[in-house]
Structure 1
Amino acid sequence: MAEAIVLSVIKSISSIIADTALTKLTSLIKVHSRLEHIKSIFEVMSGSLKDIDEMNDYNHAVAAWRKQVIDVAYEVEDIVDEYSYLTRERHQKDFKGVFYKVIHVSRDARTWYQTALHLKNLETKLENLTNMRNQFGINTCQGMTIGNNSNDDTRQISRFAESSHFKLENEIIGIEENRNLIENWLADNETSQYVIAAWGMAGVGKTTLATNVYNRQKKECRFSNFSWISVTQTYNINDLLRNIILELYEGKMEATPQSFNTMDYRHLVQILQGFLHQKKYLIILDDIWSTEVWTYLKNAFLDCKLGSRVIITTRVYDVAINAASKSHIIELKPLQKDKAQMLFCHTVFGEGTIKYPHDLEELAQKFLRKCEGLPLAIVCIGRLLSIKDKDIILWQRIYDGLNIGSTDLRNVYSIFRLSFNDLPSYLKSCLLYCSMFPEGHMIRRNKLIRLWVAEGFVQKQGSKSMEEMAEEYLNELTHRCMLKTAHITSMGIISRYVIHDLIRDFLLKKSREDNFCEVYRGSELCGDIRRLSISSSANDLRLETSHHLRSIIVFDPKALFSNLTLQNYFSSFRLLKVLDMSFSPIEKLPNEIYQLFNLHYLALRGTKIKKISKSLGRLQNLQTLDVWNTYVENLPSTIAKLKRLRNICAGKKKILSGNHFVRYAVTASRKICDLAYLQTIKYLAANDEIVKQIGNLAELRSLDIGRVTESQSEELFVVLSKMERLKKLSVHQHSESVLSFNFEAFPSLPPYLQKLNLHAIFAKGKLPQWFLGLVHLQSVILYFSGLSEDSLPFLGLLPNLLLLELGDDAYVGQRLCLQECWFPKLRNLRLIKLVELNCLEIRRDAMPALFRVYLKACEELQIVQGMENLPSLSELVLDKMPNVFRNSLHNLPDNIKIKVVKNWTERDGIWSYQVSNN
């Protein structure tokens, strides 16, 4: 992690030097040159820090040296932010009068002199650290190859993996379904050789599954030749090939060729190909970390059309998809509750035990919740408890002392450390930041992306925005099983993530080691904290020594911000980048917050804030302003001064009776359209000036606009048609008027649009011809549209549509017939308050991927024909549907579950319903 911290500082220095490259002021040039020198020292150090970070352990001298480098890096980071502020302030003064400049020139000279002096001291520190490294022999990484630093971890994991060969059948729990699937693949009639991949997070049981299959196959003699190889991070391709050959030759009691130990890659591949010629073989490659391994190994496995198989295990999805087809990939998940309990009881109390003793049940459940279905963790903890007295006081003491660094979980710690060390440096900071979220917290995708961008963890690449790059980071962490999917939208997009509790414990330990972040749970905080997560009441919080805080995120909605807590310190947090007080019971924003020149992210979502001061314009670095679901009705005109603003989330959604809701847009000055970097606006009230100027927002990706009148609609859509980067569009009519879109007169919407939400009448009930050209649309939500049957093909022929929602007479026909080959990818169909509809007909081969149908308040609907033509349909959800219709659903296929909605609930923006199953 030290490497990631230093690389982040190098990036910051490069950025500020580029911004001020043309300065001619002597004092500024001195600061500039010192920063350049510090950057060059850090660049040299970064390689050594990378190797140290990957060590399994290091001595006190190395630890102390590494810690001092990090401390200096943090100091430099602080100066860079101060420097950025001061140079921008000086630039603004250049445009003011001569008298103003004369008054401030003396103060500025002192400031730059002090900054240069501070940097000189830091240069000296870094030079001393460089000399110290040689003086005390801190050269542990010299001559080492990539990955060797973690050899102890690797050997420990290899031994643990190989021990799975000796597990008895009755010791293996929870793999039956996946084992049966693999064994069916091994026994099928396909003669071509193919690869089977099992992937999943560390400790989920991939090796146990693969070795169990391997041992069973050796008994069945379906294959003539077998080899099982552990790959690991520290692989050497030639050694892997030798190990495979040795296993194969030993299995046939044959001697290996002469000069075998000195052969190069080409000759080893030739030997392996020669041995496997005209043989039916099964080879297991356990724990592959990179696609490169398979690229080199696959050349050796000849396909003699005899039904040979290769099974690989990996914790990286990219490896699995590179080696195997999707149809032969298994993602291993943590154990379900019943299987986890069975494994725990078996390990702790002995074979055949499936229940806990009554007095230990509560503590046993706590241990299992800690493991979250991870077999390795269950076995490690179970083995510890199995040799202890079954005493409630002793068990409680063990639970209280249980953490990821304890010796009892050393195997779990080792595999997490290997996974973490394998991450590229830019992902390490992003993942560590996730440890700030409370245990079990569902992390909002958009929030996490914006936080990473605000913290400077994301690097722009080519024409992609930083938000798009952050999405790629999220995908990579998910594919490496470091983040778990918690919620997927109806469009198949992951909207919430969660971290396994033990991984979070590991990350918190790493974070504290490097002073990266801290979680406040009511206990006293130590040291100069840089990032703070508040998960309990902050009444007794003391931050007198934390003047270099970069982030404060509040997760406890009951956290009290009285005179004794945070607002006392805001004036001291000059370098704060992130302030998130969402859902806190605050009604007014302290004035001190408007002095935080370095603030990039300000979130007040769900608070009782009524007004944002004009002083907001002082926050020149602000990137995200989130005041969604507050009482803020107007954004101050000074928001136009925030030239770096990227995201605005404002407005409010209020729930009415019957699960209906109304949205309240926020008003803003037309100058909001001058914000060149703006990517997201939600939920903006339209006016004539904004409609004319909104096309200036060339970077806009997501627009949610309301209160649109009919007189504004044509001009608005003309402007929108030219916004080629727009991917999400939501347009709502003014509540006091009926909005009619004459789409025939409008130009086409942007071609790369993915989500479209329109609340208005369509003139003549028609969609325009150009609608068929919106081939990237994945979600279409239409209300009040008044569409006729003639417009249905324009929706049905959209090739990538995943969600279609028609509500409040969006369709006015009595019969809705969905023709064959329509909606090839549609997964969710929602029909809401279509008061004329009395018949829904589904033709054969329509909607082959449809998973869910949701029907609400379609009071005239009497019959649904063709449900049997929907092979993928699993759920039919009925909300406020008449009893007559519900009673007519008695001939549905058995695979379709009918769910009747009782009531809706909302949690952190996710709506869910309780049901009574018919």
Structure 2
Amino acid sequence: MDSLAIIAMGTMGQVVHHIERSLLDEDEEVISGGPIVDIAKQELQVLEYHINYASFLLAARIRDAQAVNNWISEARKIAFCLADQIDMYAIRGSSDSELYHMKNDIGMLRIAELISRIEGYNVVGNEIGQMPSVVRNRESISLLTGMSPFIQYSRPMLEDKIVRMESKIEKVKEFLKGARPVLFITGGQGSGKTTLMKVICNDDSECCWCWVDIAETGGLVGLLKMLLKKSKVDCDFIQEFEIMKMVHDTFKDKPYLIVLDNVQDTYVLYSLKHVLNNCEGKIICLTRKIDIQEDENQDVLHIRGLEPYDSLKLLMSAAFCNFDSTDLLRENFNSIVRDDALRRAITSKYQPPADQLVKMVKLLNEILSKCQDNPWNIWSIGTLLDSCPHEKWEEIEERIDGMLIDGTKMNEKNDPHIQLEDAKLDDATVRHCFLYCLAFPKTAESCKETSKILENSGGIPTRKLIRLWAAEGYVQDSSRQSQEEEAECLLHKLIKKNLLVVKKKGFDGEVLKCSVNDHIWAVAAEMCEKQKFCKLVHNDSDEASSPSWRTKCFPISLKICTRGEKTLSDRYRMLAVHDDGGVKEVWKRLSKDLRLRSLLYFRTGRTERSELELSFRRRYMFLRTLELQGAHLSHLPSNIGCLVCLRYLGLRNTQLEDLPQSLQRLVQLICLDIRDTYIAEVADVSYFREMRHLYLTKSFRSHSVAIRDGLHSLVHLQTLSGVAYGEFSGKIPFERQISHLRRLSKLSMKKASSTSFKNICDAINGIDSLKSLAISCDMDGQELDLSALKIGKNLRKLKLGGPMGNFCDLEPFMQSITFLYLWDSKLSIDLLDTLGGLENLLVLSLLNASTSQKMICYNGYQKLKKLSIISLDNLSECQFHGNSMVSLEELVVAKCGNLKKPPQRIDQLPSLREVHLTGMLPEFCDKAKDKLKDKVYVLPDALQYVVSSRAAARGGN
């Protein structure tokens, strides 16, 4: 595939030409089935593969990039044209006349005309049609000059660094040949420990070596299991006492090299040495600690910072990549030579006035000083200086402490390094899913005193991300897993590759929020721009809602094609609008564009929202995802029904009171989210036969939504949240409709009556896949009889609201439950004592759940991590005895007016990190502060609703 002309004239051109004819001429005989389209998709994947790699080279600021940039521009147009034609074929069930006008509107050329244009470029000598050899041969790693310093093996800087580390490499090799079994390599983060060992391991192919990050193992057993997995030994079901023998047997027959990264102490090391007794091999420990005790059985190799000469050379190669610094010699290097070199480099690039030049030299010297001779620091800040106008340099210098490793903040953040092969994003699915994450805002609101409860970490909510990926078609159902499960595996793959960083985990270990690794953000944003994958739009006038100064934001510039003009454009496939700035103008322009596949709106500020007016036409037929959460939207237009490809519709926290009937045309919809709206009823859902996730309301809100008919038709449904029980639900009783939903994993039902509760339980008991169940009654004065409810083996989260009887009879069957929420139950028993036998419980929330005056825990709750005690009006005494609550991390106590003092042993709980109090007596708060000091957060009563709604934190909705 040497040129785009060859690509277009070959199989791809023939396929798309056939597709085009079938669309315009309605020739059923031209295409008899799907194989031709499948071939076209394969050709498209090949072309996108080369476009992606070329954009990676540009993001790395390859030399002589103009030819690559020109090629990407034309190749992208061809790829978009082909993708549009394939998508048009996929919706042939729509009106053929609509498709014809749609094709005419977009200005897509016939393939023959397209080929002619590409050949015309070659005739005039622009060389746009020719694929540059640097893209075709993929042998350009040594040419990269501007990659993020946290992408390993991607820069000449690293090659130079390896040369400077030759003496260190030789010392490691001498150790491998010597008698001592252990070597400690010490040095600050980014000093080159990992780089050094990668070189050693790559050179020694005969050695059986394993690389293990101690921070990810969780102790000796975790370390041993990871060693076995690295050696491709299945150890998931091996007993602990058998693991040691298996590790010994695995490594005894061949010399091994085990690299332990992030070593903090020597306990695990010496335990591992005991396990490997009489085995032949070496252990190398990478650590930032410099006070390692040397003994006769171990060596220590210290890696320190760069020399001043090397620091300056590295900064100049990063910040002034085109400046020739070969005349800068080590022999005569001093501060005068350094300042002169900086002046010449600055002048060659910016030509500033004399007074400004002095300031810039001084600023660079201060930046160098702050970098502490750490090569990663210098290269990172240098590439940032190169990419920003010099007017922004002072701003960078002010923020530099937060970006440095071994500095004041980056050491806490500790974002991991990224391998070059992962940064190139060769895998199409990984590429699409990762670049999709760039659409989410980077900034977050903060709230000082109340931040522990109101905290918005600014991360990407992973559950929403997974649903969006599925709607976009990036993942599909497999023979083993659903597309949501496939998406979750992909999420963990991106985290393992360090492309995404975990920001927040649930108490059960589930990743709740993540973010794009800062060290690849600039590279990924540039790749995103070159591939026209996503455009970010934000309100420049609102400082609080603007993306951070490191975020790329691309201005709107959409070409509009008239019917009389046929052009080949390459507009963005995805638009992300951050806050209300520019929304009306964006929507106005987008009304003339139909190439868009996704539109995501994010409300990132607290400013008053302007009304959003929507209007859809056939031009939006390709739109797959429409996320409008938080937009000021009071109604949906009836012409939303033209979005025949729409698979995700997010309307959460809008002002909608009803849904238009035309929504029934959206038969491909797999996710509908109308939480926190005023919608009280949905007439008929039988049209949404592909629906998987139906979010009506939150589990802990009194509001609910009734479904009049068609619920039994949603046989693929996995999530049904906030549905109101109703005997009026069509001809089929509500509980019978529920029994048809055999794939449900989450069910939240409200207004269940005591008379129908047994039938409801019978329907629920037959759903084996259920993992989360929430039921609240309609408060008709009678109790729910829980004896009919059977707890399935897969059920993990149970939420029960309203008066209930037989609760004690249910407790023995709840051993699988990890999250338990009870509210308005008004049970007359001591719930802490009653539930103490639930060994797997992680979160327990009791809101107006008991009328008992005492709650005493004598033992148990070994795994409990969060306890919420809210609105227990009669409670006057709470005690933790014995060995209970040893894992408790968070305690919430609110609106318990008779409780005067905290539990006596609360200050002895080893894992307790936070205690949140609101609506409590002053003496209770004072005593809690005396015992727990800075762990206590007292919130004003006005925030009580936050405490109760956050009862499901880290594992709720």
Do they superpose with TM above 0.5?
Answer: yes
1:29 aligns with 2:31: yes
Partner of 1:711: 755
Task: Give the Å deviation of 1:155.
Answer: 4.5
Partner of 1:851: 889
1:310 aligns with 2:284: yes
- Cα distance between partner residues in 2 of 1:607 and 1:908: 23
Do 1:195 and 1:311's aligned partners in 2 also have CA atoms closer than 8 Å?
Answer: yes
Bigger shift: 612-621 or 436-445? 436-445
Partner of 2:433: 430
Do 1:630 and 1:652's aligned partners in 2 also have CA atoms closer than 8 Å?
Answer: no
Q: Residues 833-884 of structure 1: CA distance to partner in whole angstroms, max 9, x if unpaired? A: 2233333222222222111222222233355243355222233333222234
- Cα distance between partner residues in 1 of 2:371 and 2:679: 41
- Which of 731, 734, 742 in structure 1 is aligned with 2:775? 731
Q: Could you say if the C-alpha distance between residues 68 and 109 of structure 1 is closer, same or farther in structure 2, counting changes exceeding 3 Å?
A: closer
Task: Give the Å deviation of 1:427.
Answer: 1.7
- Which of 694, 707, 713 in structure 2 is aligned with 1:648? 694
Q: Could you say if the C-alpha distance between residues 240 and 433 of structure 1 is closer, same or farther in structure 2, counting changes exceeding 3 Å?
A: farther
Q: Could you say if the C-alpha distance between residues 157 and 704 of structure 1 is closer, same or farther in structure 2, counting changes exceeding 3 Å?
A: farther
Partner of 2:660: 613
Secondary structure of the corresponding residue to residue 669 of structure 1? strand
Partner of 1:520: 537
Do 2:71 and 2:131's aligned partners in 1 also have CA atoms closer than 8 Å?
Answer: no
Partner of 1:260: none
- Cα distance between partner residues in 2 of 1:135 and 1:886: 73
| Amino acid in the other structure paired with 2:585 | D
1:540 aligns with 2:546: no
Partner of 2:703: 664
- Cα distance between partner residues in 2 of 1:110 and 1:620: 22
Q: Residues 598-619 of structure 1: CA distance to partner in whole angstroms, max 9, x if unpaired? A: 1111112111111101111011
Secondary structure of the corresponding residue to residue 468 of structure 1? helix
- Cα distance between partner residues in 2 of 1:391 and 1:145: 33
Q: Could you say if the C-alpha distance between residues 904 and 194 of structure 1 is closer, same or farther in structure 2, counting changes exceeding 3 Å?
A: farther
Q: Residues 480-517 of structure 1: CA distance to partner in whole angstroms, max 9, x if unpaired? A: 33233334445554333333556443322111101111
Do 2:681 and 2:705's aligned partners in 1 also have CA atoms closer than 8 Å?
Answer: yes
Secondary structure of the corresponding residue to residue 464 of structure 2? helix
- Cα distance between partner residues in 2 of 1:908 and 1:444: 20
Q: Could you say if the C-alpha distance between residues 137 and 25 of structure 1 is closer, same or farther in structure 2, counting changes exceeding 3 Å?
A: closer
Greater RCO, 1 or 2 (C-alpha within 8 Å, sep 6+): 2
- Cα distance between partner residues in 2 of 1:419 and 1:109: 39
Q: Could you say if the C-alpha distance between residues 126 and 165 of structure 1 is closer, same or farther in structure 2, counting changes exceeding 3 Å?
A: farther
- Cα distance between partner residues in 2 of 1:372 and 1:545: 50
Partner of 1:680: 719
1:475 aligns with 2:496: no
Task: Give the Å deviation of 1:414.
Answer: 11
Q: Map 1:335-414; keep pairs closer than 5 Å.
A: 379-380=378-379, 395=394
- Cα distance between partner residues in 2 of 1:155 and 1:840: 61
Partner of 1:332: none
Partner of 1:229: 197
Partner of 1:80: 86
- Cα distance between partner residues in 1 of 2:83 and 2:874: 64
- Cα distance between partner residues in 2 of 1:283 and 1:833: 55
Do 2:624 and 2:646's aligned partners in 1 also have CA atoms closer than 8 Å?
Answer: yes
Partner of 1:763: 805
Which consecutive unaligned segments of at least 5 residues does structure 1 have?
A: 1-5, 91-103, 168-190, 199-203, 212-226, 245-275, 288-297, 315-343, 351-359, 405-411, 654-660, 914-918
Q: Map 1:237-636; keep pairs closer than 5 Å.
A: 238=205, 309-311=283-285, 379-380=378-379, 395=394, 419-421=422-424, 424-440=427-443, 441-489=458-506, 491-500=508-517, 503-521=520-538, 523-526=555-558, 528-535=571-578, 536-541=581-586, 542-543=589-590, 546-556=593-603, 567=614, 570-636=617-683
Q: Map 1:893-904; keep pairs closer than 5 Å.
A: 897-902=935-940, 903-904=942-943
Partner of 1:795: 835
Which consecutive unaligned segments of at least 5 residues does structure 2 have?
A: 1-6, 148-152, 168-178, 212-250, 263-271, 289-314, 320-334, 336-358, 404-414, 444-457, 540-554, 560-570, 728-732, 953-957
Do 1:765 and 1:785's aligned partners in 2 also have CA atoms closer than 8 Å?
Answer: no
Partner of 1:156: 156
| Amino acid in the other structure paired with 1:748 | K
- Cα distance between partner residues in 2 of 1:111 and 1:422: 36
- Cα distance between partner residues in 1 of 2:778 and 2:758: 15
Bigger shift: 132-141 or 448-457? 132-141
- Which of 907, 921, 927 in structure 2 is aligned with 1:882? 921
- Cα distance between partner residues in 1 of 2:207 and 2:52: 26
| C-alpha RMSD over aligned residues | 5.8
Secondary structure of the corresponding residue to residue 77 of structure 2? helix
- Cα distance between partner residues in 1 of 2:426 and 2:838: 39
Do 2:418 and 2:498's aligned partners in 1 also have CA atoms closer than 8 Å?
Answer: no
Q: Residues 572-602 of structure 1: CA distance to partner in whole angstroms, max 9, x if unpaired? A: 2121111122222221112222211111111
| Amino acid in the other structure paired with 1:600 | R
Do 2:615 and 2:637's aligned partners in 1 also have CA atoms closer than 8 Å?
Answer: no
Q: Could you say if the C-alpha distance between residues 452 and 197 of structure 1 is closer, same or farther in structure 2, counting changes exceeding 3 Å?
A: farther
Q: Could you say if the C-alpha distance between residues 532 and 377 of structure 1 is closer, same or farther in structure 2, counting changes exceeding 3 Å?
A: farther
Task: Give the Å deviation of 1:732.
Answer: 1.3
Task: Give the Å deviation of 1:518.
Answer: 0.8
User: TM-score with structure 1 length normalisation?
Assistant: 0.65
Q: Could you say if the C-alpha distance between residues 157 and 633 of structure 1 is closer, same or farther in structure 2, counting changes exceeding 3 Å?
A: farther
Secondary structure of the corresponding residue to residue 691 of structure 1? helix
- Cα distance between partner residues in 1 of 2:945 and 2:666: 33
Task: Give the Å deviation of 1:425.
Answer: 3.0
Partner of 2:792: 750
Do 2:658 and 2:679's aligned partners in 1 also have CA atoms closer than 8 Å?
Answer: yes
Task: Give the Å deviation of 1:417.
Answer: 6.0
- Cα distance between partner residues in 1 of 2:683 and 2:915: 47
- Cα distance between partner residues in 2 of 1:843 and 1:889: 17
Secondary structure of the corresponding residue to residue 207 of structure 1? coil
Q: Could you say if the C-alpha distance between residues 45 and 610 of structure 1 is closer, same or farther in structure 2, counting changes exceeding 3 Å?
A: closer
Do 1:210 and 1:284's aligned partners in 2 also have CA atoms closer than 8 Å?
Answer: no
Task: Give the Å deviation of 1:702.
Answer: 1.2
Q: Could you say if the C-alpha distance between residues 241 and 436 of structure 1 is closer, same or farther in structure 2, counting changes exceeding 3 Å?
A: same
- Cα distance between partner residues in 1 of 2:482 and 2:143: 36
| Amino acid in the other structure paired with 1:553 | L
Q: Map 1:63-78; keep pairs closer than 5 Å.
A: 67-78=73-84
Task: Give the Å deviation of 1:452.
Answer: 1.0
- Cα distance between partner residues in 2 of 1:861 and 1:520: 51
Q: What's the % identity of the aligned pairs?
A: 20
Partner of 1:741: 784
Secondary structure of the corresponding residue to residue 472 of structure 1? helix
Q: Residues 695-736 of structure 1: CA distance to partner in whole angstroms, max 9, x if unpaired? A: 11112111111111111211111111111111111111214x
- Cα distance between partner residues in 2 of 1:908 and 1:850: 18
- Cα distance between partner residues in 2 of 1:619 and 1:875: 46
Secondary structure of the corresponding residue to residue 710 of structure 2? helix
Do 1:445 and 1:495's aligned partners in 2 also have CA atoms closer than 8 Å?
Answer: yes
Do 1:691 and 1:715's aligned partners in 2 also have CA atoms closer than 8 Å?
Answer: yes
